[in-house]
Amino acid sequence: MEKSAALLIVDVQNDFCPGGSLAVPGGDAVVPVLNRYISLFRAAGLPIFASRDWHPRTTSHFKEHGGLWPVHCVQGSHGAQFHPDLALPGDAIVISKGMDPERDDYSAFQGTAADGTPLPALLAGRGIRHLYLGGLATDYCVKESALEGVRHGLIVTVLADASRGVDLAPGDSGRAVQDMMRAGVRVTSLEDIGQEQ
Ligand code: VGL
Ligand code: ZN
């Protein structure tokens, strides 16, 4: 990975894992894979960002108020916590998103750090030009974050082995990967990254 690369872990939270209120099939399988990416990026001294869905209890994002989804990732709840086995380093930068009660805001680029700084400003401030991202869910937040990264002029690489989709309709995740690739997003896996240098 080049010096201007960063890792973005998308929404690896209890509610998106088996047992959670919006469980992604096999969602927890991304955790050990992401932990290996975390080690690689740490060893290279590269920044690590972790986004979290961070909804108010009442939002148009939820079914009960006209949205698509069951109640999930409510601010401060157990379901909103990162998966307990995700080995986030202490200096990882947490990006919260989905706080606006009138918007879905799937993309992490709509999110902010604890001090309110938006993700795009954080990336620009660190000179990040290449964003590697993986997590949950391929067909929503991973996809929208990747597409918005491209729109911001970044090189974007999706970590296929560290992402899983909701697949509300069968095939959504595969179509999401195709949409991303059509937009110029690269796709890689641990095997390929291990061979880089
Ligand atoms: C997500 C559905 C609803 C995601 C968030 O993180 O991909 N999906 N809210
Ligand atoms: Zn959500």
Q: Which atom of ligand 1 is nearest to the CA of 137?
A: 7
Cα(27) to centroid(ligand 2), Å: 15
Residues counted in the chain: 197
User: How much is the pTM?
Assistant: 0.97
- Residue 52 near residue 93 (C-beta atoms within 8 A): no
Complex prediction ipTM: 0.98
**Helices 172-182/143-151 angle, 10° precision:** 10
Separation CA 174–CA 143 (nearest Å): 11
Both structure tokens of 163? 């992402």
Q: What is the pLDDT along the chain (197 residues), one digit of tens a residue?
A: 899 999 999 999 999 999 999 999 999 999 999 999 999 999 999 999 999 999 999 999 999 999 999 999 999 999 999 999 999 999 999 999 999 999 999 999 999 999 999 999 999 999 999 999 999 999 999 999 999 999 999 999 999 999 999 999 999 999 999 999 999 999 999 999 876 64
Separation CA 1–CA 143 (nearest Å): 21
Tell me the one-letter amino acid at 121.
A
Cβ count within 10 A of residue 113:
15
- CA 60 from chain center: how many Å? 21
Whether the CB of 71 sits within 6 Å of ligand 1: no
Separation CA 1–CA 31 (nearest Å): 21
Q: Can 73 be counted among the known catalytic residues?
A: no
Which residue matches tokens 């307990």?
84
Both structure tokens of 147? 């597409």
Which residue matches tokens 């998966």?
83
Q: Report which of 96, 141, 137 is spatially closest to residue 116, judged by C-alpha positions.
A: 96
Cα(10) to centroid(ligand 2), Å: 12
Q: Can 172 be counted among the known catalytic residues?
A: no
Whether the CB of 161 sits within 6 Å of ligand 1: no
Separation CA 109–CA 119 (nearest Å): 5
Whether the CB of 137 sits within 6 Å of ligand 1: yes
